[in-house]
């Protein structure tokens, strides 16, 4: 359920997919979305199950990811 009643369309989903696929581990660490470390489990979850990764992110990290995607 979406809280802000946004209606998604193909263009929005493709834009999100494109931006998501361009994010590097270094960018996620620098933004505070995941912790540093070689091959950490956060990075693995980000790649292996992105939807579950999103659902489990704490609010501050979720906002940091949104900021990263919006820039």
Is pLDDT at 3 greater than 80 in this prediction?
no
Q: How far apart are CA 39 and CA 26, in angstroms?
A: 11
The CA-to-CA distance between both ends of the chain, in Å, stands at 25
pLDDT digits 0-9 by tens, 18-59:
999 999 999 999 999 998 877 567 888 888 999 999 999 999
Over range 3-12, report the average pLDDT.
Answer: 78
Q: What is the pLDDT of residue 32?
A: 94
Q: Which residues contact 53 (CB under 8 A, 6 or more apart)?
A: 42, 45, 46
The residues spanned by each domain of the chain are 24-70
């Amino acid at each position: 359920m979406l809280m802000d009643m946004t209606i998604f369309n193909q263009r929005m989903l493709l834009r999100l997919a494109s931006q998501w696929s361009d994010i590097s581990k270094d960018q996620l660490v620098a933004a505070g979305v995941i912790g540093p470390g070689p091959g950490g489990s956060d990075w693995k979850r980000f790649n292996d199950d992105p939807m579950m990764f999103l659902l489990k992110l704490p609010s501050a990290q979720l906002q940091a990811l949104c900021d990263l995607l919006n820039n």
